[in-house]
Amino acid sequence: MTKIHFHDLYPPLVDIKKEIIDGLSKENKTISPKFFYDSVGSKLFDEITESPEYYPTRTEIGILKKYGKEMLSIIGNNSLLIEWGSGSSQKIRLLLDILEPEIYMPIDISKQHLQKSVQSLAKDHPKLNIHAVCADYSNGFLRLPPISEKFHKVAFFPGSSIGNFEPEQAKHLLTRIASLLGRDGILLIGVDLKKDIKILNSAYNDKKGTTATFNLNLLKRLNRELKTNFDISSFNHKAFYNEKEGRIEMHLVSNISQEVMLDNYKFSFQKGETIHTENSYKFTIEEFQTLVSKAGFHAEKVWTDSSNFFSVHCLRV
Element at 277 (helix H, strand E): strand 274-281
Is 130 within the bounds of a domain? yes
Q: How far apart are CA 157 and CA 102, in angstroms?
A: 18
Is 67 within the bounds of a domain? yes
DSSP 8-class letter at 127: T
Same domain membership, residue 135 and residue 186 = yes
Same domain membership, residue 114 and residue 77 = yes
Question: Residue 138 is which amino acid?
Answer: S
Same domain membership, residue 63 and residue 201 = no
Same domain membership, residue 255 and residue 210 = yes
pLDDT in tens, 164-190: 999 999 999 999 999 989 999 999 999
pLDDT at 142: 60
Is 2 within the bounds of a domain? no
Q: pLDDT at residue 143 above 80?
A: no
Q: How far apart are CA 190 and CA 276, in angstroms?
A: 24
Q: How far apart are CA 273 and CA 235, in angstroms?
A: 10
Q: How far is CA 258 from CA 221, 227, 233, 252, in A?
A: 19, 17, 12, 14
Which of 40-44, 118-122, 237-241 holds the top average pLDDT?
Answer: 237-241
**Number of domains present in the structure of the chain:** 2
**Mean per-residue pLDDT, 271-294:** 98
CATH number at residue 161: 3.40.50.150
Sequence-ordered strand ranges (E) for 69-219: 80-84, 103-108, 129-134, 153-157, 186-192
Is-contact 51 206, C-beta < 8 A? yes
pLDDT bracket for residue 87 (50, 70, 90): low
pLDDT at 2: 66
Q: pLDDT at residue 113 above 90?
A: no
Same domain membership, residue 140 and residue 213 = no
pLDDT at 112: 83
Q: 172 is in which domain, residue-wise?
A: 54-195+283-316
Element at 189 (helix H, strand E): strand 186-192
Same domain membership, residue 289 and residue 144 = yes
Same domain membership, residue 243 and residue 288 = no
pLDDT at 71: 96
Same domain membership, residue 141 and residue 63 = yes
Same domain membership, residue 174 and residue 76 = yes
Residue 252 has a CB neighbour count (10 Å cut-off) of: 24
**Mean per-residue pLDDT, 3-15:** 79
- Average pLDDT, whole number, for the chain? 93
Is 158 within the bounds of a domain? yes
Backbone angles phi and psi of 311, in degrees to 5: -140, 150
Is 292 within the bounds of a domain? yes
Same domain membership, residue 24 and residue 94 = no
Same domain membership, residue 63 and residue 145 = yes
Same domain membership, residue 133 and residue 254 = no
Annotate 291-315 with b (16+ C-beta within 10 A) or e (fewer): bbeebbbeeeebbbbeeebbbbbbb
